[in-house]
Structures are given as structure tokens and as C-alpha cells.
């Protein structure tokens, strides 16, 4: 077969793309990012180094006060930990709920596929705030869910759902589920059913075929879905505000309060940047571990 | 898997999709170690038959057995059968090595590394072991698909148009390779194809399928030289089918009347013995001779002559010249003539006789459509 090998050469390196045009297409997006992301972030960074003794009314002095960061962390360790815990739990639950859902839509829905996809994004037709308020009604002390759980003795008679971590995490799960489901669906839909047939032909039971073929091929969806859920969930404050109490407050609530109520801008800015940095590091580690760049 | 008589047997297999009958009461036996081709146009049920053997479709009725074991109800992963898919279906997330080792790993086989490396050597992809399928050319991917199936030493290897995606030159090379590998390892190959040349090049036995049933089954030469139906006559190569009436079956040759001229057909190629018939003759079996010197030629025993032809088209194709000859009853007969230089090429309008040996024609029942199985060049 040696003459064969010589004949069919492996894929050649891609031809070099023409420069210029690509940059032109990037320009509007880059301008947008410059004005609405880079500039505010730099502004935020500058603010975070202001003298904390200044105030909104009398102005701040730029003193390169790096101590702001240390104070922000030491004062709010519990809030950071709680934020990442809640966001992490919510992400895992979203994955457990979203994967079967996306799998069913991609492989089993038949002619109901489009209807089901519309249903997944249907919540977006109502405002985020209203939907979360609706959840406070659903989980309220006299609500059906609470009394049902009390009746079957999962909750004690004086137990509550609202104002507990359960309510906040449930709210996060509900609000971010579509962000998990849609990327999962997109990558599951791309899995060629013939590959699953081939796995069956090669002695894989349906479950082994799922584990060895479907799951690895859907990893890009798992990674983007978890990121799209975890990152915004870390900074969320609406769910904790509406479904929890100060006992369930997350770092978002603290930042919101510092910015809008206490008007302690240096503290708010340094908290924001710390959150951003921690999330960024976690995401980089996660993507490295997941090794998605290896996937086709 | 080397135990004797692990023949693949299909008994009265039927597959319906709603009202559509894809496979119609099909029975066949593939001897162990043979290279068997299922040949037919698209939609004839050949791929469905293959998928039934693989376990990817359940037959509506009938049984599939290997050796004495009925495997009709077995799930695909429990069958001693592997498939080379038309699309190759290589796992894009795994390296070539892991693709080939996939089946062994699932079965928890021993010595996986050595076995996989040996298989990579057989398909000459040792150097590509750590690449991903997307980094390989079509021909290389095809060999990975082959190695991935062969490494499991299946009782039967199924090949679903495995060369369809390759260009002509590579296809010819792979045909020879496949045949060599099959001969070397002696596994039963069942090869589905719509390419009649591919089937004839590789297979020991060809089953020509049409509309869910087998038209004819046998060694390639037998199918080609003595087709039993107009479908086989047209689908396997090309045939001239001329209306004729059987007039005498008493001799060793059957004598037919062909628009007033009598010609003979050797007895064992006559698949009808009375009334209307199709006289079939392959274009390359006919010799055209200028009619000038011998205008009143007539058939003698064993040698047929049809007179009164006029050349209407001449195409020179290098090794041969293809003529269209209009006969007195209006039909145009196709003739391929080797360019031996025996005489100057004929020209349009030349008066010619067609001559051939009685051993070379065949006779078919006239109840069939003369156009059945005709393949147009565009479809190939």
C-alpha cells in the first residue's frame, strides 16, 4: 500500500488568509467594547484606588490606595464564599436538569423540536425581575409548594422555603436554565447519530456509547453552558434580594449596596474587580482542565 | 472465528417501512470467507439488507443467522459483525489509535496496544496513530474505518459503499487493497455497492438486487455472460436487446426469428423456450463487417449474421471504437470494436452486417421491460 500513502497526502496547512478585511469586520465590535467595556473597566480600576475617606458629595482624592482591595476581601470573605457556593450549586443543578432536556430535544423530540425550543426561551418574553417576583409568590410561606412539602413532611410544619438558601438557589437555577440548555442543545444537535450507531456496531451498549461518544462530543456545550450559568450567577443579586434575606446575600448585593446606597465607590469598585479577577481565574483553570480546544 | 461453516444466512427476510417494502422475502447464503457483493441501484434495498445484518434495523419478518446461531433478535453490540460505514463514522474526538482500538476496549480485550499497532500496520497508518480523523485525507479515513472494523475479527464484515466518497483513481487502488486484505485474513465480506465494476472487480459472488429482491446471484462472469433478466443484462454492463420469436428448440442451439432473419442461441443461455423473447447480445461481442462483398450473408450453425445494418454514429475512444448501427426494423444496435487496425474504421452510412458466435448471445423472456436496469452515464 506504500504507493497509496504517497498519493493521498494528509490535509495541507490552511492557506494564509488575506489581511485587512477581517479587521474591518471586527471594527464595530471593537469600538463598542472600547467605549462600553475597556473605558469603564479602566475607570473602575482608577476608582478602586481612590482614598476611601473621600465621599460622593465632596469628591475623592487619587491616593493609589491599594489597601482598598485587602479591606474589600477581608470584610466580605463570607459573601464571596457564599456567592461561589450558590453559583456552583445552581450550575450543577442546571447541568443535571438541562442535559436530559437538551438531549431529549436534540434526539427524541421529532416534530415537537421547534415547539420545545420556543418553550425553553419563552421565559425571556417576561422581565427577569417579574419572573423572580413570581418565584417569591410560588415559594411563599402560604404557597402551594411550601404547604405540599409540609404535608408530606419534607419540611417541618413551621419550615419555610422563602428566605432560605434553597429559594435563592432555586431562583438562580430557574433564571439561568435556558443559558445552560441552549448551548447544550446546540452541541448535542451536532452529534452525528451515525457515530452512535458506529459505537453500537463496535460493542458499545447504548449507555457506553452515550458515555464514550455522545458526552465527549457534547463537551463544548457543557463548557459554554456552565460558563454562561456560573459567571452571571456569581454576580447576581436579584435572586438573593427577592428570594432571600441578608443571611443569603451574595457579593452582588454587597456591590450594589456599596454603589447605590452607601455610595462608597472605592470599596464597590475594588469588590467588582476582585470578583471579576476571581471568576476569570476560575474560568481559565476550568477551560484548561476541560480541554475544549482539543475538541473538533 | 475460524471454526468451519460460519456462513451468513438470511431466510425470508422482509422489511417494510409503512407501505413501502424495502426488502421483499429475501433469502441468501454467504459462504464463510467469501467476498460477497450486493449490487443494485439506489433504493433497491441493499443498504437496508446490510443494516438488518448489522442489527441497525429489525426485519419485519424472517431470520438472520451466522453459522447455526440465530442473531435476528440480538442488539448490534452483541453481534459478531462489524460495519465499515459509508460516511466512515470515525469518532472525531478520538485519535486514529483510539478509533481503531475502540472495539477492543469495549470488549476488554488483552494486548490492545500490540493488536492496534498491528492493525495500523496492515492499513499502513502507523505514522498517523496520534492524529485526529479530521487531519486525514478521505482515503486514509477509509482505511481507519476498515481497520477499526477488522481489528475485532468479526464473523462477517459489512461494507456499506465504503469507496463511494473516493475519487476514481483512489477507488481503483482501494478495490485492489480491499481484495488483498480479504484474501489475507479470510473474513467474510459483504459489500454493498451500486458500482457494477467495483462489484465485479472484488466479489466472488454478486447478488444483483432490484426493488427489494434478488434478480440473480452468481459469480461475476456468469452474471455478465448469461444474465437471466433484462434488469441484470442492462445494469451489469450494457446489452443490445432485440425482439425475437423462438422458432426451433430441437437442436443444441435455440433458433429464433429476428425480424425475418434466423439466428441461434446456445441452449444453456436461453432462459425462455417459446414465443416472444428478447435476444440479448453485448456490444463487444458483435463484429461489424462491411456488407459489400457478402450482401446475402446468412447464419450458419454457431455463427450468427444479421444483415442490413447502416452505421449511424462512430465514436472513437482510443482503445476501441463505438458504433451505432441502424437495423432494418429501426433499432440502433451498439457495437464496440477494438482498434486492432485490422481494417480502416467504418464511416457513417456504411452498409454493414453484424456477426457473433451463438455462444455469446442470451435469450430472455419477453415479458420484461427492455429498459429495466439501464444505467445512464450521469448516474454512475
Q: How many CB pairs under 8 A join A and B?
A: 96
pLDDT at B132: 95
- The reply to whether B257 falls in a domain is yes
- And the C-alpha cell for B296? 446475402
Q: Which of A8, A197, A216 sits opposite B170 (nearest CB)?
A: A8
Note whether B315 and B204 are same-domain residues: no
Looking up cell 489509535, which residue turns up?
B97
C-alpha cell at A63: 491616593
Q: What is the pLDDT of residues B188-243, one digit of tens each?
A: 999 999 999 899 989 999 999 999 999 999 999 999 999 999 999 999 989 999 99
| Alpha-carbon span B115 to B147, nearest angstrom | 11
Q: Which residues of A touch B56 (CB under 8 A)?
A: 197, 200-201
> Is A197 in contact with B75 (Cβ distance < 8 A)?
no
Mutate to test the interface with A, among B78, B93, B145, B152 (most CBs of A within 10 A): B93
Task: Report the chain A residue with the minimal C-alpha distance to residue B101.
Answer: A202
Q: Is the CB of residue A11 less than 8 Å away from at least one CB of chain B? A: yes
Statement to judge: residues B220 and B276 lie in one domain: no
Whether residue B185 is found in the same domain as residue B318? no
Contacts of B102 in chain A (CB under 8 A): 199, 202, 212
Closest A-chain CA to B177:
A1
Looking at the domain assignment, is residue B2 inside a domain?
no
Domain holding B366, by residue range, is 238-370
Q: Is residue B158 part of a domain?
A: yes
- A10 Cβ under 8 Å from any chain B Cβ: yes
Closest listed residue to residue B309, CA positions, set B336, B297, B291, B287: B291
Q: What is the pLDDT of residue B376?
A: 66
pLDDT at B377 over 80: no
pLDDT at B362 over 50: yes
Same structural domain, B136 and B245: no
- B376 falls within a domain: no
Read off φ and ψ for residue B212, nearest 5 degrees.
85, -5
Q: Which helix (H) or strand (E) holds B291?
A: none
Question: Residue B316 and residue B323: Cα distance in Å, rounded?
Answer: 9
Q: How far is CA B264 from CA A56, B306, B363, in A?
A: 114, 11, 10
Q: Nearest-CA residue of chain A relative to B128? A: A10
The partner residue sitting opposite A8, judged by closest CB among B93, B140, B152, is B140
Q: Return the residue of B nearest to A209 by Cα.
A: B106
Span B56-71, pLDDT tens digits: 999 999 999 998 899 9
Q: Which of B225, B257, B286 is the last residue of a domain?
A: B225
What is the predicted pLDDT for the residue at A1? 38
Residue A55, min C-alpha distance to chain B (Å): 57
CB contact under 8 A, A10 and B132: no
State how far Cα B366 lies from the chain centre. Answer: 23
- Determine, yes or no, domain membership for B233: no
pLDDT at B1: 42
Q: Is residue B377 in some structural domain?
A: no
Nearest-CA distance A291 → chain B (Å): 11
| A161/A170 Cα distance (integer angstroms) | 10
**Pair (B348, B262) in one structural domain:** yes
pLDDT digit string, tens, across residues A266-286: 999 999 999 999 999 999 999
Q: What's residue A2's pLDDT?
A: 42
Average pLDDT, chain A: 89
Q: Which of A3, A201, A213 to mutate to test the interface with B (most CBs of B within 10 A)?
A: A201
Q: How far apart are CA A10 and CA B12, in angstroms?
A: 45
- Beta-carbon contacts of residue B202 (< 8 Å; ≥ 6 apart): B35, B37, B175, B178, B179, B182, B191
Q: Do A198 and B54 touch (CB under 8 A)?
A: no
Question: C-alpha distances in angstroms, B29 versus B11, B32, B227?
Answer: 8, 9, 20
Give the pLDDT confidence of B316-347 residue by residue, as tens digits. 999 999 999 999 999 999 999 999 888 888 99
| Residues of chain B with a CB closer than 8 angstroms to some CB in chain A | 54-56, 75-77, 81-83, 85, 87, 89-93, 102-103, 106-107, 123-124, 128, 131-132, 134-140, 148-149, 152, 169-170, 173-174, 177
Output the DSSP codes for A54-92.
-BTTTB--B---THHHHHHHHHHHHHHHHHHHHHHHHHH
Q: Beta strand B240-248 with B276-281: parallel, antiparallel or unpaired?
A: antiparallel
Tell me if B336 is assigned to some domain: yes
Q: Does B293 or A280 have the greater pLDDT score?
A: A280
Query: Quick check: A202 contacting B, CB < 8 Å?
Result: yes
Q: Residues B142, B189: one domain?
A: yes
The answer to whether the Cβ–Cβ distance between B177 and A1 falls below 8 Å is yes
A contacts of B89 (beta carbons < 8 Å): 192, 194-195, 197-198
ipTM confidence: 0.82
- Is residue B111 pLDDT above 90, yes or no? yes
Task: Give me the number of domains chain A comprises.
Answer: 1
B244 within 8 A of B279, measured Cβ to Cβ: yes
A50 domain residue, yes or no = no
Instruction: Answer yes or no: do B29 and B125 share one domain.
Output: yes
Q: How many domains are there within chain B? A: 2
Q: What percent of chain B has pLDDT over 90?
A: 67
Q: What is the mean pLDDT of residues B73-85?
A: 93
- A29 lies in some domain: no
What does each of the 296 residues of chain A score in pLDDT, given as a tens digit?
344 444 444 445 555 556 667 888 999 999 999 999 999 999 999 999 998 888 888 888 888 889 999 999 999 999 999 999 999 999 999 999 999 999 999 999 989 999 999 999 999 899 999 999 999 999 998 888 998 998 898 888 888 889 999 999 999 999 999 999 999 999 999 999 999 999 999 999 999 999 999 999 999 999 999 999 999 999 999 999 999 999 999 999 999 999 999 889 999 999 999 999 999 999 999 988 886 555 43
Please tell me the distance from the alpha carbon of residue A274 to that of residue A288, in angstroms, as a whole number.
21
Minimal Cα distance from B90: which residue of A? A195
Report strand pairing: B188-193 vs B351-357.
unpaired
By CA distance, what is B171's nearest residue in A?
A4
Residue A25 belongs to a domain: no
What pLDDT was estimated at residue A15? 56
3-class DSSP state of A244: coil
Cβ-Cβ contacts under 8 Å for A217 (sequence gap 6 or more): A187, A190, A191, A195, A295, B92, B93
Q: Is residue A118 part of a domain?
A: yes
Q: Which structural domain, as residue segments, surrounds residue A122?
A: 78-294
Gap from B83 CA to chain A (nearest CA, Å):
7
Query: Would residue A48 count as lying in a domain?
Result: no
Instruction: Record the cell numbers describing residue A270, joined without a space.
Output: 475594588
Q: What is the CATH number of the domain that holds A280?
A: 1.10.3720.10
Asked if residue B379 has pLDDT above 70, the reply is: no
CATH number at residue B139: 3.40.50.300
Residue B38 scores a pLDDT above 70? yes
Residues of B within 8 A of A296 (CB-CB) are 92-93, 132, 134
In which order are the strands placed within the sheet that holds B253-258?
B261-266, B253-258, B240-248, B276-281, B361-365
| B113 and B248 both lie in a single domain | no
Q: Tell me if B3 is assigned to some domain.
A: no
Q: Which residues of A touch B87 (CB under 8 A)?
A: 192, 194
Q: Under a CB-based contact definition with an 8 Å cutoff, are residues B293 and B359 in contact?
A: no
- Partners of B64 in the β-ladder: B10
Amino acid at each position: 500500500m506504500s504507493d497509496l500513502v504517497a498519493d493521498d497526502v494528509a490535509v495541507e496547512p490552511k492557506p494564509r488568509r488575506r489581511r485587512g478585511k477581517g479587521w474591518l469586520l471586527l471594527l464595530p465590535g471593537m469600538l463598542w467594547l472600547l467605549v462600553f467595556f475597556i473605558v469603564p473597566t479602566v475607570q473602575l480600576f482608577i476608582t478602586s484606588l481612590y482614598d476611601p475617606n473621600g465621599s460622593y458629595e465632596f469628591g475623592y482624592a487619587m491616593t493609589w490606595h491599594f489597601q482598598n482591595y485587602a479591606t474589600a476581601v477581608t470584610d466580605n470573605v463570607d459573601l464571596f464564599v457564599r456567592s461561589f457556593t450558590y453559583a456552583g450549586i445552581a450550575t450543577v443543578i442546571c447541568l443535571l436538569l438541562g442535559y436530559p432536556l437538551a438531549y431529549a430535544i436534540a434526539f427524541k423530540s421529532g416534530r415537537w423540536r421547534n415547539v420545545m425550543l420556543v418553550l425553553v426561551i419563552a421565559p425571556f418574553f417576561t422581565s427577569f425581575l417579574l419572573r423572580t417576583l413570581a418565584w417569591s409568590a410560588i415559594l411563599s410561606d402560604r404557597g402551594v409548594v411550601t404547604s405540599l412539602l409540609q404535608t408530606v413532611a419534607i419540611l417541618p410544619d413551621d419550615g419555610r422555603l422563602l428566605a432560605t438558601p434553597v429559594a435563592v438557589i432555586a431562583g438562580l437555577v430557574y433564571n439561568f436554565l435556558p443559558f445552560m440548555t441552549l448551548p447544550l442543545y446546540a452541541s448535542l444537535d451536532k452529534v452525528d447519530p451515525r457515530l452512535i450507531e458506529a459505537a453500537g456496531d463496535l460493542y458499545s451498549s447504548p449507555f457506553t456509547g452515550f458515555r464514550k461518544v455522545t458526552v465527549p462530543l457534547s463537551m463544548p456545550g457543557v463548557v459554554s453552558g456552565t460558563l454562561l450559568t456560573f459567571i452571571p450567577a456569581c454576580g447576581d443579586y436579584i435572586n438573593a434580594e427577592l428570594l432571600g434575606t441578608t443571611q443569603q446575600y451574595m457579593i452582588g448585593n454587597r456591590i450594589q449596596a456599596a454603589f447605590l446606597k452607601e455610595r462608597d465607590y472605592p470599596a464597590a469598585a475594588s469588590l467588582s474587580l476582585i470578583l471579576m479577577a476571581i471568576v476569570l481565574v476560575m474560568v481559565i483553570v476550568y477551560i484548561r482542565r476541560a480541554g475544549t480546544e482539543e475538541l473538533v | 472465528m475460524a471454526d468451519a461453516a460460519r456462513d451468513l444466512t438470511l431466510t425470508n427476510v422482509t422489511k417494510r417501512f409503512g407501505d413501502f417494502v424495502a426488502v421483499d422475502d429475501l433469502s441468501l447464503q454467504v459462504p464463510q470467507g467469501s467476498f460477497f457483493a450486493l449490487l443494485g441501484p439506489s433504493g433497491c434495498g441493499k443498504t437496508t439488507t446490510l443494516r438488518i445484518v448489522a442489527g441497525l434495523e429489525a426485519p419485519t419478518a424472517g431470520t438472520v443467522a451466522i453459522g447455526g446461531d440465530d442473531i435476528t433478535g440480538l442488539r448490534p453490540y452483541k453481534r459478531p459483525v462489524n460495519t465499515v460505514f459509508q460516511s466512515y463514522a470515525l469518532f472525531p474526538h478520538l485519535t486514529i489509535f483510539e478509533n481503531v482500538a475502540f472495539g477492543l476496549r469495549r470488549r476488554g480485550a488483552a494486548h490492545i496496544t500490540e493488536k492496534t499497532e498491528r492493525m495500523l500496520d496492515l492499513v499502513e497508518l502507523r505514522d498517523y496513530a496520534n492524529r485526529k480523523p479530521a487531519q486525514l485525507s478521505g482515503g486514509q479515513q477509509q482505511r481507519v474505518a476498515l481497520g477499526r472494523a477488522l481489528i475485532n475479527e468479526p464473523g462477517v464484515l459489512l461494507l456499506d459503499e465504503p469507496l463511494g466518497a473516493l475519487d476514481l483513481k483512489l477507488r481503483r487502488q482501494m478495490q485492489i487493497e480491499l481484495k488483498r486484505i480479504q484474501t489475507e485474513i479470510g473474513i467474510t465480506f459483504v459489500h454493498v455497492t451500486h458500482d457494477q465494476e467495483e462489484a465485479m472487480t472484488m466479489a466472488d459472488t454478486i447478488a444483483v438486487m432490484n426493488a427489494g429482491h434478488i434478480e440473480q446471484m452468481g459469480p461475476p462472469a456468469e452474471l455478465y455472460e448469461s444474465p437471466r433478466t433484462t434488469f441484470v443484462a442492462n445494469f451489469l454492463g450494457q446489452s443490445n436487446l432485440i425482439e425475437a420469436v423462438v422458432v426451433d428448440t430441437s437442436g443444441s442451439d435455440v433458433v429464433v426469428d429476428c425480424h425475418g432473419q434466423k439466428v441461434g442461441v446456445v441452449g444453456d443461455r436461453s432462459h425462455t423456450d417459446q414465443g416472444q423473447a428478447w435476444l440479448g447480445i453485448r456490444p463487444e461481442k458483435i463484429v461489424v463487417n462491411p456488407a459489400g462483398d457478402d450482401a446475402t450473408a446468412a447464419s450458419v450453425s454457431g455463427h450468427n449474421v444479421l444483415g442490413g445494418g447502416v452505421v449511424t454514429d462512430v465514436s472513437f475512444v482510443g482503445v476501441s471504437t463505438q458504433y451505432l448501427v441502424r437495423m432494418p426494423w429501426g433499432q440502433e444496435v451498439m457495437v464496440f470494436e477494438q482498434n486492432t487496425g485490422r481494417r480502416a474504421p467504418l464511416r457513417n452510412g456504411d452498409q454493414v452486417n453484424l456477426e457473433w458466435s451463438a455462444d455469446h448471445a442470451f435469450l430472455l423472456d419477453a415479458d420484461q421491460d427492455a429498459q429495466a436496469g439501464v444505467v445512464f452515464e450521469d448516474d454512475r
